[in-house]
């Protein structure tokens, strides 16, 4: 039977869309390029018995009671409030930056380096702290993460951190609900997709004609790939990861994540997964499991993780978004589809809003007006109905 909706991608956005639409009585089919579901929140159990995420740590946190109830339909969350440290001047310091560290190194009286309206990331960071603190904590980390000088990045990127006047070591102390799903994120997504057909290890972009929804296509992959990179590729950063088991050490780090802002150190952070599991599980494993991450610029779509925060790529995205808005029967959304980084709670909340809006506005019915216009001699191209994506010129 023909599905009402075909959803490309089984990450948090795709799985949430699928669940909301199926719960509303719609026929849904999910297409996933990878052999496993879950997108970049996918996880696995290492041979030592510790669970690890395949694409970096994912700390779930939200202050929305309704969203918390929603995710708890599919998993029980063990309490976990992430703590992150940074290796600075041979010591381990809080991240975000503790005001006490600034007082110890700069003095009791200090002022930010930059005053005015920041035009780039470096100015935005310096508007929060003295230059010496920026050099220790922020500059090297940011340059390694993005591969360019921080002054070339958007000032908006700075919104993801602050200076803690109360020295609270928790990454997100104001979030009401925080935890890690017992059984992992892959199991959570499996439960979200229960009774929904999922085609795994299938690249929709290689065989678009095989999937023809009666109502809409919801695409959560890279927006530029959907349009065959007709304007050029959007830039991303990814991480090369190395995981190893240390059998003779119960714990190596004081917390689950330690950042490495020193430019002389190629990795950007080390994750110790034992901090993130239930105490009984941790006690049963004599050693510990660690993953290091080293940033790089990926050259294939399966390794895209962080949309690049600069003006050039923002403008390129706007050109693709204009194409995407031309077709009422196609919705391109999610982190890759909207070319912006979403925390997990943001991705799920946005997908739920999109699903409700789809059901309320029924955008697929707008095709009737387009069909009438076509019958009057006006041409149109729908990649869902005719197969393939429109390929405008690069002009």
Catalytic, out of 20, 293, 327, 338: 293
Please confirm, yes or no, whether 269 is among the known catalytic residues: yes
Please confirm, yes or no, whether 164 is among the known catalytic residues: yes
Please confirm, yes or no, whether 341 is among the known catalytic residues: yes
Please confirm, yes or no, whether 293 is among the known catalytic residues: yes
Q: Which of 205, 279, 213, 221 is nearest to 29 (CA)?
A: 213
Catalytic, out of 208, 269, 329, 367: 269
Catalytic, out of 343, 345, 350, 352: 343
Please confirm, yes or no, whether 33 is among the known catalytic residues: no
Please confirm, yes or no, whether 356 is among the known catalytic residues: no
Burial class (CB in 10 A: 0-12, 13-18, 19+), 264: exposed
Please confirm, yes or no, whether 245 is among the known catalytic residues: no
Q: What angle do CA 144, 146, 151 make, to 5 degrees?
A: 100
Catalytic, out of 51, 61, 208, 237: 237
Catalytic, out of 117, 159, 160, 264: 160
Kindly list the catalytic residues: 160, 164, 237, 269, 293, 341, 343
């Amino acid at each position: 039977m023909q599905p009402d909706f075909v959803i490309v991608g089984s990450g948090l956005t795709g799985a949430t869309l699928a669940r909301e639409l199926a719960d509303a009585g719609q026929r849904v089919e999910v297409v996933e390029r990878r052999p496993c579901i879950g997108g970049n929140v996918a996880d696995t159990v290492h041979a030592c018995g510790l669970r690890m995420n395949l694409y970096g740590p994912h700390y779930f946190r939200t202050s929305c009671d309704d969203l918390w109830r929603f995710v708890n339909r599919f998993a029980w969350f063990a309490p976990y409030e992430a703590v992150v440290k940074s290796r600075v001047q041979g010591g381990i310091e809080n991240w975000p930056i503790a005001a006490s560290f600034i007082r110890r190194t700069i003095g009791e009286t200090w002022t930010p380096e930059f005053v005015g309206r920041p035009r780039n990331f470096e100015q935005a960071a310096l508007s929060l702290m003295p230059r010496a603190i920026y050099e220790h904590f922020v500059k090297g980390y940011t340059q390694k993460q993005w591969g360019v000088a921080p002054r070339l990045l958007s000032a908006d990127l700075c919104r993801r951190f602050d200076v803690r006047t109360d020295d609270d070591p928790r990454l997100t102390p104001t979030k009401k609900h925080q935890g890690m799903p017992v059984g992992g994120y892959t199991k959570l997504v499996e439960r979200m997709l229960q009774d929904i057909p999922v085609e795994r290890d299938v690249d929709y972009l290689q065989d678009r004609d095989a999937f023809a929804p009666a109502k809409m296509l919801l695409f959560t992959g890279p927006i530029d790939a959907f349009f065959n990179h007709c304007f050029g590729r959007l830039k991303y950063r990814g991480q090369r990861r190395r995981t190893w088991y240390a059998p003779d050490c119960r714990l190596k780090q004081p917390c689950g994540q330690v950042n490495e802002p020193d430019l002389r150190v190629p990795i950007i952070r080390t994750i110790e997964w034992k901090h993130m599991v239930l105490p009984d599980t941790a006690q049963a494993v004599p050693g510990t499991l660690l993953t290091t991450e080293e940033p790089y610029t990926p050259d294939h779509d399966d390794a895209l993780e962080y949309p690049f925060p600069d003006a050039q790529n923002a403008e390129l995205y706007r050109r693709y978004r204009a194409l995407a808005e031309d077709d009422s029967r196609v919705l391109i959304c999610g982190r890759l589809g909207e070319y912006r980084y979403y925390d997990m709670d943001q991705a799920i909340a946005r997908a739920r809003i999109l699903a409700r809006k789809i059901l309320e506005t029924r955008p697929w019915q707008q095709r009737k007006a387009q069909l009438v216009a076509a019958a009057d001699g006006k041409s149109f191209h729908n990649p869902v109905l005719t197969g393939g994506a429109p390929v405008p010129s690069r002009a």
